[in-house]
Amino acid sequence: MCGDRECEVSTGLCHECQSGYHGEKCTERCPPNCDDSGCNRYDSSCNHCKPQWFVERKQCSCSGHCNDHGCNTDSGICINCDRGWYGTKCKRSCPINCNSKGCARETGFCHECKAGFFGNRCKCTGHCDSNGCDRDGRCVACDGGYSGDLDGAVIA
């Protein structure tokens, strides 16, 4: 995909690449988040990014786990996070006991908990075993060596 000046006949190397291609023979496509101005022939860095993408380490990308809507082109702050991630740059994972709906982007609070877990971060208090706790936050069963409920668990 050589540009207007075509290629060197003896080597097959291009003098310049068509927009959207890079490499010695201009056969490699530019990264998908480059705009129509293409990319650098030698290192594939974008000349300019598509809207909603941020230049980071010479590539058009977004920090963390931004979803397909991209990020702010000046700051790299995500427009929206992939499910299961939160924070301005979507670099923090939601609590492990959130269900598949994930958590709130700003706080990391779970939208809903997996069965047996309750509270903003879906944690049981005290020394509950792997069975979790009831809707009131009381342990279904205590870890070995503990008895009681909530934070008042005492060593048996």
Which tens digit of pLDDT belongs to each residue from 18-47? 888 888 888 899 988 888 888 888 888 888
Residue 56: inside a domain: no
Residue 57: inside a domain: no
* Residue 103 clears pLDDT 90, i.e. is over it: yes
* Residue 104 clears pLDDT 90, i.e. is over it: yes
Q: How far is CA 9 from CA 2, 13, 21, 39, 44, in A?
A: 12, 8, 19, 24, 24
Residue 142: inside a domain: yes
Contact predicate 112/120, CB 8 Å: no
pLDDT (mean) for 103-113? 92
Mean pLDDT (the chain) is 79
Residue 89: inside a domain: yes
The whole domain housing 108 covers 62-114
The answer to whether the predicted template modeling score (pTM) of the entire model surpasses 0.75 is no
